[in-house]
């Protein structure tokens, strides 16, 4: 156990150890921090922490998590009245375990934030069974991004936009490290960031905007090109709406339609990795012949789907947002949840992304026109996208300090395209160098986990730790698929893919990472 405040009291007698420890944690409520107030500082006994209620947004653990005794600190940075007369500030939660491993993890959010997920540090893939960071001994912090409600009203306030875009990361990191230093009487030896979705974007921002603060980041299904991805969502909705019955988007394509598409992808591309198992592991090698679907789907449905999968374009045919890879995961509930929705729930593209495109990324905040001019929209979101999108490719300071980036991306992600992150990855490794980042494309996986045969159970935090601390870049990451019990397969560092070479199909040893 590391030394803490009031060390002499801790050493006086063993009978006073517990009360002194409790006093150490409680004393943080009175610590003098710049522009930050502590609302709660209290010892938490070992026990079970609840699941992340926003797991669908963050990729955090949808299961309860066991945690040892720790100090819980909650507070708010820059409490203020915004330009719209509403209360703002960056709320945070920090958990510091008794058995500290000397490391700090910043846990990313999701959606447009506005909530505080439990600071647990679970690997942000909903199917991952990897040990959360708090259980490993990390001090873990989470935040709300600078606004307290899960709506888009915050976009009326300039600073709230800036905080969600990137500024809150630096403020929370500095405050958390000050609390850690006071509590443990020592600074973290290593500082990492890990998140998925908007949390993945935040992880990239941590490396791009705060390269001196972090030693490594885990980036999951990142919304790094968020302003353009929002326009991609507008495009998707506009393509499917003419097929919707009574304005209900979910009726545009039935589950049978998506099952048909998935089966054709399997038929054409499954064997490319050497094993016919319903998994298209050879990412990037599938030259899918879409016309094979002609006659299997009605022409109007197929044409709408082809327009969506090709990506948003303006009137001159210029790409506004990239297209999408064809993966069997197109039939999974997670794909439908974003693109089409269900009878019970409106598509996320309609309920979240459509509004965000106009109210967050356009100035002043406004509604997207019913008949969009995509070229004009792209120009209108450029200003906010300039500070909101985590698309910088020049990360030399981060890399020179030994900073490492582990990226995972679902091949069937329906909101942030795998083709977009592979494009960024190629540009970033060219501009910064090949030794700071590794990308792993997950076959079958939708957004931050999910998929019928998705290899979504993996541990990128351990991979990052080993790489950052050993200097040896990972060539693969072991993974399993919850829908295929006892089956393992490597996720290979892009552009390599897992090729079956013979033997037990369930064994990692039966695959090798092959390059195209």
Q: Which residues are catalytic?
A: 197, 413, 447
For residues 99 and 179, give the distance between their C-alpha atoms in angstroms, rounded to a whole number.
16
For residues 206 and 141, give the distance between their C-alpha atoms in angstroms, rounded to a whole number.
14
DSSP structure class, residue 250: G
For residues 210 and 191, give the distance between their C-alpha atoms in angstroms, rounded to a whole number.
12
The continuous run of DSSP H or E covering 74 comes out as: strand 70-81
Angle formed at CA 283 by CA 279 and CA 286, multiple of 5 degrees: 85
Beta bridge partners, 492, equal 476
- Cα dihedral sign for 185, 187, 188, 192? positive
For residues 76 and 485, give the distance between their C-alpha atoms in angstroms, rounded to a whole number.
44
CB 200 within 8 A of CB 193: no
Break the chain down into helix, strand, coil percent, rounded to 5.
40, 20, 40
CB 147 within 8 A of CB 113: yes
CB 161 within 8 A of CB 152: no
Secondary structure class of 58 (helix, strand, coil): helix
CB 157 within 8 A of CB 83: yes
For residues 260 and 273, give the distance between their C-alpha atoms in angstroms, rounded to a whole number.
21
For 1, counting Cβ atoms within 10 Å of its Cβ (0-12 exposed, 13-18 middle, 19+ buried), the class is exposed
CB 491 within 8 A of CB 283: no
For residues 453 and 332, give the distance between their C-alpha atoms in angstroms, rounded to a whole number.
9
Closest to 451 in 3D by CA, of 296, 332, 305: 332
For residues 281 and 479, give the distance between their C-alpha atoms in angstroms, rounded to a whole number.
12
Give the pairing type, strands 87-97 and 139-143: antiparallel
C-alpha distances in Å from residue 235, one per residue of 315, 342, 371, 376, 428: 12, 19, 10, 13, 27
Q: Tokens 């919304």 label which residue?
A: 223
CB 182 within 8 A of CB 31: yes
CB 508 within 8 A of CB 489: yes
CA-based max dimension of the chain = 82
């Amino acid at each position: 156990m590391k030394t803490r405040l009031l060390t002499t009291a801790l050493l006086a007698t063993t009978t006073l150890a517990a009360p002194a420890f409790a006093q150490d944690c409680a004393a943080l409520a009175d610590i003098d921090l710049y522009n930050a107030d502590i609302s709660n500082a209290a010892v938490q006994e070992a026990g079970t922490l609840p699941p992340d209620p926003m797991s669908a947004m963050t990729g955090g653990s949808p299961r309860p998590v066991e945690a040892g005794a720790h100090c819980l600190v909650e507070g708010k940075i820059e409490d203020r009245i915004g330009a719209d007369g509403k209360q703002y500030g960056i709320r945070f939660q920090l958990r510091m375990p008794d058995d500290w491993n000397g490391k700090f993890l910043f846990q990313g959010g999701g959606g447009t934030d506005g909530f505080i997920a439990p600071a647990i540090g679970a690997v942000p893939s909903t199917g991952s069974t990897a040990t959360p960071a708090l259980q490993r001994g990390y001090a873990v912090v989470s935040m709300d991004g600078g606004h307290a409600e899960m709506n888009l009203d915050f976009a009326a306030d300039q600073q709230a936009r800036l905080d969600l875009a990137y500024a809150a990361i630096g403020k929370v990191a500095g405050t958390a490290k000050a609390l850690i230093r006071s509590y443990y009487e020592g600074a973290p030896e290593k500082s990492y960031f890990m998140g998925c979705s908007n949390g993945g974007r935040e992880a990239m921002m941590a490396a791009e905007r705060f390269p001196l603060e972090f030693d490594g980041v885990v980036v999951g299904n990142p919304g790094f090109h968020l302003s353009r991805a929002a326009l991609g969502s507008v495009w998707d909705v506009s393509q499917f709406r003419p097929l919707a019955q009574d304005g209900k988007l979910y009726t545009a394509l039935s589950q049978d339609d998506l099952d048909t598409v998935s089966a054709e992808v399997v038929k054409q591309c499954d064997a490319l990795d050497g094993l016919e198992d319903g998994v298209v592991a050879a990412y990037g090698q599938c030259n899918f012949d879409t016309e094979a679907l002609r006659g299997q789907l009605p022409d109007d449905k197929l044409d709408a789907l082809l327009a969506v999968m090709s990506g948003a374009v303006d009137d001159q045919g210029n790409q506004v947002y990239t297209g999408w890879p064809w993966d069997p995961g197109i039939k999974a509930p997670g794909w439908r949840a974003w693109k089409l929705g269900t009878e019970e729930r409106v598509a996320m593209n309609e309920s979240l992304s459509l509004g965000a495109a106009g109210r967050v990324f356009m100035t002043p905040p406004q509604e997207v026109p019913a008949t969009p001019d995509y070229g004009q929209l792209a120009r209108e979101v450029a200003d906010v996208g300039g500070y909101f999108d985590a698309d910088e490719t020049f990360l030399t300071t981060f890399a020179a300090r030994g900073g490492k980036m582990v990226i995972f991306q679902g091949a069937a992600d329906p909101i942030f395209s795998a083709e977009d992150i592979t494009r960024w990855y190629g540009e970033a490794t060219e501009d910064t160098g090949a030794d700071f980042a590794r990308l792993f494309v997950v076959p079958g996986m939708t957004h931050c986990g999910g998929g019928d045969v998705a290899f979504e159970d993996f541990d990128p935090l351990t991979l990052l730790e080993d790489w950052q601390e050993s200097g040896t870049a990972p060539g693969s990451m072991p993974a399993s698929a919850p829908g295929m019990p006892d089956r393992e397969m490597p996720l290979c560092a892009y552009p390599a893919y897992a090729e079956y070479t013979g033997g037990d199909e369930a064994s990692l040893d039966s695959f090798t990472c092959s390059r195209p």
